[in-house]
Structure 1
Amino acid sequence: MSTDTNEQDTEPVSRRRGKPAVIIGGMALILIVAAAVAVALLRTGDKANDLPAFAPFTYRGHGDVVLSVGWSPDGKHIASGSQNGTLHVYDATSGEPVVECEKFPSFVRSLDWSPDSTRVAAADTKGTLRICDANTGETTVAMTPGASATAVWAIDWSPDGKRLAVGTAGGKMLLLDAATLQQDRVYEGHRNIVSAVAWSPDGTRIASGGGGATVLGSSSVQIWDVTGGSTATAVFNGALRVDAVAWSPDGRRVAADTGPNGDIEIIDVTTGKVEMTFEPDIPETAALAWSPDGTRIAIAGRDGTEVRGPTGEKVFTYSGQRLPSSLAWAPDSIHVASSGYDHTVQVWRVG
């Protein structure tokens, strides 16, 4: 394992010609965002004083393509998974190694931290799913490929820490008991790979994204009420495969790459209306994440990562890493960790 400091490139990526941001109900949206930000700041103000002092660095410990990354909720550690099956946990301020979890048989494409920051759930593309103790590196519970019967493409831990939502290559989303990994429920609605899953902040709903990579009209974002049955309560159709889904911290909206040409759409899940659409300057969205304070969205694409503000305006571009595969915000809503095909995880500052 190795790390080094990183000089971040803040030069903006030249904007591609394309349609401008489309703002629907702009003033109302700004007021909603402002209110949500005020609430988020009140909730996180006390926590901010307890966060570590973050600084940019580059982690090179995997020695291979890094496909997934996650920042622990307490801000102290980062976990990342690689194409070579390794899963590492390291210090979020320095990149110093903490543990190496048990090696997976195949690509570690997805991972997520438990809400108490003590465990990492990770899965590979052959269907192996494990929960690793972030302090010891020991596997506390595992699910074999025979149980999942398909590759795992996405995983997300419920806010109460009791369940895991798992997206599979077979078009199913599984709801698992986090303590035993026993299957609690199966959701079927996608035609193809379920490539993104995300719990709502209150833990009552799950947004899932998926579909075919080449067939127009085969993709969708679906909202599931986990307190009810196994039928989606809302379906928002996309263009091609949906690779990224994220809830706003206030639980009112979902961001997803559902638009034509990979456009990002902000969907009001209550009304079912698209509030805003914008086309990232960086093509081929691989991941997106809403900042914990709700003020910005980071979008990883082929040529780097850009950050958008409340009305879709671009506020920052990080071009120090080509072909990023995944990203995660620090709890301070200022730093971002991005994994990439350049064999690194890079921690960088917005602004």
Structure 2
Amino acid sequence: MKKIIAAEEMAFTSPQRPVPIAMLPSLSDSVYQVAWAPDGATLATGSRNGRTAFWDTTSWNERLALSQPTGIMFCLAFSPDSQKIATASHDKLSRVWSAASGNPQFESPGPGRHVEFSPDGAQLTTTRTKKAYLWNLASGQLIFEMAGHTSTVDFAIFSPDGQQIATTSGKIGFLWSVATGEQVASLQDCRGSIHDVAYSPSGEWIAAACHDSVLRIWDTRNGVLKHELHHEDHAFSLSFSPDGSRIASSSFDKTVRIWDTITGDCVLILEHPDKMGSVAISPKGDIVIANELAYPNNSAWVWELSSGRLLAVLPHAHTTSDVIFSPDGRLAAIGCHDDFTYIWDMFQFDGSLNGYP
């Protein structure tokens, strides 16, 4: 049975608003993208003006900025070994850079919206208008292209084992074999544009948040629809728990909902005064965080995943965009349109949660 946590109840029990441990300036433009290196030592921020900066996560000093503006930043992604970063931007190029020196190492033409390294770091997906591409990074050669979309491709993501790629555009999604380049399944039944998509940690399922107010989950082996999980307005973002047993979804219906991925049951409804944007479950699986979309409401809300208990309301000076956790789950980074990235320490909200040091 689902438990509904009302906004009024959360406001009544909410702790005092905390203070960020760091605010990272973007040099006079909104922060659109944030990415944490897998080794946790570097945070990258990408701004509307195309500037990408690298921050030392011990001192929070900027240690490097990429050598040239690259247009509006749509996507940032680190390689699994933290040695490279890929960017997709409005200047009609997708690039791979050295995370140590900032030197460019690879370029793919096309106005890309998404880039992603394979789990072994040997391959890269890029997008260009109605197609997605798979590249060999050692040789710089194209392995194959993924065609069949009828509008701009928004996502081209790898399965956790690197054996499959999912691409989406508008209401359409396809699954591709990395070994053969063949389309192996399509994601059917979407009646609204796909706004977010993710594989489950096991790779058995793939989920999409759709503008027809539904969170859908399919079997990745055959594209068979497993669940349709309903909000009351646009589903905006989603995040799986590390063990894959739960999935969080945010919506314009002013809720974050927690679902059992096996049964499809809604186990928690976290009500909120305004539309909700990006949502993320921590790598430890104990915390869920989501940001507000409607200016001037600029807060991010932090809950305990198991109970729905509100842990903190994080204030920001303007609308927030991307929300991510550090690899160890201790910190959260939130990009903001006030030209800063805010860094928050999860331990200050409730140090009893799941063994934080």
Q: Common fold, TM-score beyond 0.5? A: yes
Q: Which residue of 1 aligns with 2:220?
A: 226
| Aligned-pair Cα RMSD in Å | 3.6
Residue 132 of structure 1: how far off its partner (Å): 4.6
2 CA distance for matches of 1:104 and 1:286? 30
Could you list the runs of 5+ residues in structure 1 that have no partner in the other structure?
1-16, 23-49, 212-217
Are 2:134 and 1:131 equivalent residues in the alignment?
yes
Question: Whose RCO is larger (CA < 8 A, sep 6+)?
Answer: 1
1 CA distance for matches of 2:114 and 2:337? 15
Q: Which residue of 2 aligns with 1:190?
A: 190
Question: Structure 1 pair 304/81, CA: closer, same or farther in 2 (3 Å)?
Answer: farther
Are 2:280 and 1:289 equivalent residues in the alignment?
yes
2 CA distance for matches of 1:234 and 1:248? 17
Q: Which residue of 2 aligns with 1:250?
A: 243
Question: Structure 1 pair 190/315, CA: closer, same or farther in 2 (3 Å)?
Answer: same
2 CA distance for matches of 1:253 and 1:242? 16
Q: Which residue of 2 aligns with 1:200?
A: 200
Secondary structure of 2:124's counterpart equals strand
Amino acid in the other structure paired with 2:121:
S
Are 2:261 and 1:269 equivalent residues in the alignment?
yes
Runs of 4+ in structure 1 deviating by more than 6 angstroms, as ranges, are: 340-344
2 CA distance for matches of 1:135 and 1:350? 38
Q: Which has the higher helix share?
A: 1
8 Å CA contact 2:240, 2:248 repeated in 1: yes
Residue 253 of structure 1: how far off its partner (Å): 0.9
Residue 304 of structure 1: how far off its partner (Å): 6.2
Q: Which moves more between the two structures, 79-88 or 218-227?
A: 79-88
1 CA distance for matches of 2:98 and 2:319? 23
Question: Structure 1 pair 86/318, CA: closer, same or farther in 2 (3 Å)?
Answer: farther
1 CA distance for matches of 2:186 and 2:106? 28
8 Å CA contact 1:69, 1:339 repeated in 2: no
Could you list the runs of 5+ residues in structure 2 that have no partner in the other structure?
1-5, 12-37, 43-56, 347-357
8 Å CA contact 2:159, 2:199 repeated in 1: yes
The number of aligned residues is: 290
Residue 153 of structure 1: how far off its partner (Å): 2.4
8 Å CA contact 1:67, 1:339 repeated in 2: no
Percent identical residues: 20
Question: Structure 1 pair 18/206, CA: closer, same or farther in 2 (3 Å)?
Answer: same
Are 2:328 and 1:332 equivalent residues in the alignment?
yes
8 Å CA contact 1:51, 1:74 repeated in 2: yes
Q: Which residue of 2 aligns with 1:164?
A: 165
Q: Which residue of 2 aligns with 1:97?
A: 102
Question: Structure 1 pair 202/222, CA: closer, same or farther in 2 (3 Å)?
Answer: same
Amino acid in the other structure paired with 1:51:
D
Q: Which moves more between the two structures, 197-206 or 111-120?
A: 111-120
Q: Which has the higher strand share?
A: 2
Residue 114 of structure 1: how far off its partner (Å): 1.6
Match for residue 126 of structure 2 among 122, 127, 151: 122
The 5 Å alignment of 1:203-214 reads 203-211=203-211
Scaled by the length of structure 1, the TM-score of the pair is 0.68
Amino acid in the other structure paired with 2:72:
V
Scaled by the length of structure 2, the TM-score of the pair is 0.67
Residue 249 of structure 1: how far off its partner (Å): 0.7
Residue 155 of structure 1: how far off its partner (Å): 3.3
